[in-house]
A and B are shown apart, each in its own frame.
Chain A
Amino acid sequence: MSSSAAPATTGGTSRRMQGEAATAAQEDRQDRETGATVEFRQVRRAFGAAVALDGLDLDVRPGELLALLGPSGCGKTTALRMLAGFETPESGEVVVDGEDVTSVPANRRDAGMVFQSYSLFPHLSAADNVAFGLRMRKVSARERRARAAELLELVGLPHHGDRYPHQLSGGQQQRIALARALALRPRVLLLDEPLSALDAKVRLALREEIRRLQRELAITTLFVTHDQEEALSMADRVAVMHAGRLEQCAEPGELYARPATAFVAEFVGTMNRIPGRTGDDGGVVEVVGRRLPVDGPGAAPHREVDVLVRPEAVELAVAEKGTKGAEGTARVTGTTFLGAVTRISVRLADGTLVKADMTTHTATAFPAGTAVTVGLPERPVLVDERRA
Chain B
Amino acid sequence: MARLIPSIPSIPSRRPRFGRGAVLAVSAAYFAVPLLAAVVYTVDDPVKGVTLSAYTGILGAGGFLPALLLSLELAAATIAVVLLILVPAAIAVRLGGSRLRAAVEVVCTLPLVVPPIALAAGLTTVLKWGPEYLARTPFFQTIVALQNPGFPVVLVLAYVVMSLPLAYRALDAGLRTLDVPTLMEAALNNGAGRIRAVTGVILPNLRGALLNAVFLTLALVLGEYTVASILGFQPFTVWIVNGSASAQGPVTIAVSVLSLLLTWALLLVLSASGGRRHTSAPASRNTKGTT
B188 near A107: Cβ-Cβ < 8 Å: yes
A340 is an interface residue with CB less than 8 A from chain B:
no
B257 is an interface residue with CB less than 8 A from chain A:
no
With A106-B188, A136-B190, A167-B281 as contacts: A119 and B286 at CB distance below 8 Å: no
Which residue on chain B has the smallest CB distance to residue A116?
B182
Partner of B284, one of A109, A112, A163: A163
B189 near A112: Cβ-Cβ < 8 Å: yes
Which residue on chain B has the smallest CB distance to residue A164?
B281
Q: Which of B240-291 contact A (CB under 8 A)?
A: 281-282, 284-291
A85 is an interface residue with CB less than 8 A from chain B:
yes
Q: How far is the CB of A199 from chain B (nearest CB, A)?
A: 9
How many Å lie between the Cα of A106 and that of B289 in the bound state?
Answer: 36
A107 near B193: Cβ-Cβ < 8 Å: yes
B61 is an interface residue with CB less than 8 A from chain A:
no
With A106-B185, A113-B186, A136-B190 as contacts: A169 and B284 at CB distance below 8 Å: no
Residues of A with C-beta under 8 A to B186:
113, 115, 119-121, 180
Most central of B178, B188, B282 by chain A CB within 10 Å = B188
With A121-B205, A169-B287 as contacts: A115 and B182 at CB distance below 8 Å: yes
How many Å lie between the Cα of A135 and that of B153 in the bound state?
Answer: 41
Which residue on chain B has the smallest CB distance to residue A184?
B191
B65 is an interface residue with CB less than 8 A from chain A:
no
Partner of A167, one of B189, B190, B282: B282
A97-127 interface code vs B (CB 8 A; 1 in, 0 out): 0000000011111011101010111110000
Residues of A with C-beta under 8 A to B205:
121-123
A220 is an interface residue with CB less than 8 A from chain B:
no
Q: How far is the CB of A38 from chain B (nearest CB, A)?
A: 16
Chain A interface residue count, Cβ-Cβ cutoff 8 angstroms: 46
Which residue on chain A has the smallest CB distance to residue B287?
A169
Q: Which of A372-386 contact B (CB under 8 A)?
A: none
Which residue on chain A has the smallest CB distance to residue B183?
A119
Which residue on chain A has the smallest CB distance to residue B178?
A122
A206-224 interface code vs B (CB 8 A; 1 in, 0 out): 1001000000000000000
B150 is an interface residue with CB less than 8 A from chain A:
no
A366 is an interface residue with CB less than 8 A from chain B:
no
Residues of B with C-beta under 8 A to A202:
291
Q: How far is the CB of B196 from chain A (nearest CB, A)?
A: 7
Cβ-Cβ contact count across A and B, 8 Å cutoff: 100
With A133-B191, A167-B286 as contacts: A119 and B291 at CB distance below 8 Å: no
A107 near B192: Cβ-Cβ < 8 Å: yes
Which residue on chain B has the smallest CB distance to residue A183?
B190
How many Å lie between the Cα of A122 and that of B182 in the bound state?
Answer: 12
How many Å lie between the Cα of A3 and that of B290 in the bound state?
Answer: 5
Most central of A1, A105, A111, A115 by chain B CB within 10 Å = A115
Which residue on chain B has the smallest CB distance to residue A166?
B281
Q: How far is the CB of A138 from chain B (nearest CB, A)?
A: 10
How many Å lie between the Cα of A4 and that of B291 in the bound state?
Answer: 9
B204 is an interface residue with CB less than 8 A from chain A:
yes
A117 near B291: Cβ-Cβ < 8 Å: no
Which residue on chain B has the smallest CB distance to residue A171?
B291
B45 is an interface residue with CB less than 8 A from chain A:
no
A113 near B284: Cβ-Cβ < 8 Å: no
Residues of A with C-beta under 8 A to B188:
85-86, 105-107
Partner of B189, one of A107, A120, A137, A170: A107
Which residue on chain B has the smallest CB distance to residue A136?
B191
Q: Which of B190-229 contact A (CB under 8 A)?
A: 190-193, 196, 201, 204-205, 207
How many Å lie between the Cα of A84 and that of B188 in the bound state?
Answer: 10
Q: How far is the CB of A191 from chain B (nearest CB, A)?
A: 12
Q: Which of A40-78 contact B (CB under 8 A)?
A: none
A5 is an interface residue with CB less than 8 A from chain B:
yes
Residues of B with C-beta under 8 A to A105:
188
B190 near A132: Cβ-Cβ < 8 Å: yes
How many Å lie between the Cα of A115 and that of B189 in the bound state?
Answer: 11
How many Å lie between the Cα of A3 and that of B201 in the bound state?
Answer: 29
A84 near B189: Cβ-Cβ < 8 Å: yes
Q: How far is the CB of A85 from chain B (nearest CB, A)?
A: 7
With A123-B204, A166-B281, A167-B282 as contacts: A113 and B287 at CB distance below 8 Å: no
B161-182 interface code vs A (CB 8 A; 1 in, 0 out): 0000000000000000011001
A168 is an interface residue with CB less than 8 A from chain B:
yes
A180 near B190: Cβ-Cβ < 8 Å: yes
A205 is an interface residue with CB less than 8 A from chain B:
yes
Could you jot down 27 A-B contacts, CB within 8 Å?
A6-B290, A84-B189, A105-B188, A106-B185, A107-B190, A109-B189, A113-B185, A119-B179, A119-B183, A119-B185, A119-B186, A121-B183, A121-B186, A123-B201, A123-B205, A132-B187, A133-B190, A168-B286, A169-B286, A172-B286, A172-B291, A180-B190, A181-B189, A184-B190, A201-B291, A206-B291, A209-B291
Contacts A121-B186, A164-B281, A181-B189 given; 16 further ones with Cβ under 8 A? A3-B290, A5-B286, A5-B288, A107-B188, A107-B191, A107-B192, A112-B189, A115-B185, A117-B179, A117-B182, A119-B182, A122-B205, A123-B207, A136-B196, A167-B282, A167-B284
Seen from chain B, the residues whose Cβ lies within 8 Å of a Cβ on chain A are 178-179, 182-183, 185-193, 196, 201, 204-205, 207, 281-282, 284-291
List the 4 closest pairs (A to B, CB-CB), nearest first. Answer: A133-B190, A171-B291, A169-B287, A136-B191
Seen from chain A, the residues whose Cβ lies within 8 Å of a Cβ on chain B are 1, 3-6, 84-86, 105-109, 111-113, 115, 117, 119-123, 132-133, 136-137, 163-164, 166-172, 175, 180-181, 183-184, 201-202, 205-206, 209
